[in-house]
Chain A
Amino acid sequence: MIEKKLGDLTDEELILEFQQNNTVKAYEILVQRYKNPLINYIYRFLGDYEACADIVQETMIKVYRNKDSYKSIAKFSTWIYTIAGNLARTEYQRRKRRNIFSISSYGDENENFDIPDESARPDVITDSGIKDEIIQKALLKVSDSYREMVILRDIQEMSYEEIAEVTGIAVGTVKSRINRGRNQLQKLLKDIYKE
């Protein structure tokens, strides 16, 4: 009965319940609600499933440990996306730095290289899985500041205002970055979307 009641609560009510009464069940429901959207967001940004699962776990742990720093004036989704976005950006920078400084990583088994993929030619593309892979690879080639915005807007379907809140950037800048990101993607995927 109580569980059903908690399940009906909004995100903001759940975090408030968790803050005030330390109801772990409320926290678990929030985890259940946000784990997949966050995994999707981080995966599209980093392109590494294992790392993205770790980041989302870390996000959830931060929510658990810092529940009192959430202020009810903000939307819970904005808060949790901000935490996840910050962690993802940190991880992205770390990877980028590692690629710059580590000579030994060159030729690593886990390294992804851009090699001409014959199966990726538009006339060969039949499987939607391959198509998704090509889109994901193209997405990863878009500048990180644009990519994040495009993912939040076109994949996570957030409003411009929400994106501005999550990233801490002005709405006008968000819009221009989204368009620049889309423009880069359009150039990268021109052979695919013509189909």
Chain B
Amino acid sequence: MIPNDDEVRYKNIINLLKQMPKVSAPPNFESDLMRRINIGNFNDTYKIKWWDRFLFPTRIIAATTLAISIVAVFYVLNDNSVDKENPFLLKPPIRKSVLQSQNKQLHLSKTPEYAEASINGSFKINKEGLNFLHIRLNEAEKAKITRLKEQIRAYFNENR
């Protein structure tokens, strides 16, 4: 065997390996073997079982990677599905305080009558959607109105 360049380069290592003593089989090797063959003891000690195949570290790593990939792909596809609304097109959620205020206004609008005090002593009256203004009159205004009523009444009597 002609040594190549690599064998020249690693000459020392190769010599060390070649000088290692040869290991021999145990003295009863053949008798044990023939005994096993004769009694049919073929227990397939070194046959890989299916769960052993699955538990190989490389396969566990591969299986885990595959599972993670599947989950990641599922989430990505699920996020892009048409069923889900675009968050940018959604109306913003109404805050609780605003909602309570709206409810209160709705309740008030359904009330058949309500009166609201004003600063100058008059009242707004809501009678089923019709707005009235109730004004408190002083004595002079009351007298003036009474006078006007009498003048209208006299005018009607004269023209009858």
Contact = CB atoms under 8 A, between A and B. Distances in A.
Interface of A: 28, 31-32, 35-36, 39-40, 43-44, 49, 52-58, 60-61, 64-65, 87, 90-91, 93-94, 96-97, 100-101, 132, 135-136, 139, 150, 154-155, 157, 159, 175, 178-179, 182-183, 185-186, 189, 192-193
B101 interface: no
User: Looking at B12, B14, B17, B36, which has the most chain A CB atoms within 10 Å of its CB?
Assistant: B17
Contacts of B29: 35, 53, 56-57
A52 to B, nearest CB: 8
Given A36-B23, A135-B20, A185-B17, 8 more contacts: A44-B20, A44-B23, A57-B29, A57-B32, A61-B42, A87-B46, A94-B52, A100-B57
Interface string B21-42: 1111110011011101100001
Q: What 8 pairs across the A-B complex have the smallest Cβ distances?
A: A193-B12, A154-B17, A182-B10, A35-B25, A43-B23, A87-B46, A39-B25, A40-B23
Contacts of A100: 57
A193 B25 contact: no
B56 interface: yes
Contacts of A179: 6, 10
B105 interface: no
Contacts of A44: 20, 23
Contact of B13 (A35, A64, A193): A193
A36 B26 CA distance: 9
B55 interface: yes
B60 to A, nearest CB: 9
B13 A182 contact: yes
B48 interface: yes
Contact of A58 (B22, B45, B48, B55): B45
B26 A58 contact: no
A143 B81 CA distance: 48
B18 interface: yes
A155 B33 contact: no
Main SS of chain A's interface residues? helix
Contact of A39 (B15, B24, B36): B24
Given A35-B29, A65-B42, A185 B23 contact: no
Interface in B85-143: none
A96 B57 CA distance: 9
B82 interface: no
Nearest to A93: B56
16 contacts: A36-B23, A36-B25, A39-B23, A40-B22, A53-B26, A57-B33, A57-B36, A61-B33, A91-B46, A150-B17, A157-B18, A182-B6, A183-B10, A186-B10, A186-B13, A193-B15
B77 interface: no
B76 interface: no
A36 B22 contact: yes
Contacts of A87: 46
A179 B30 CA distance: 36
Contacts of A150: 17
A97 B57 contact: yes
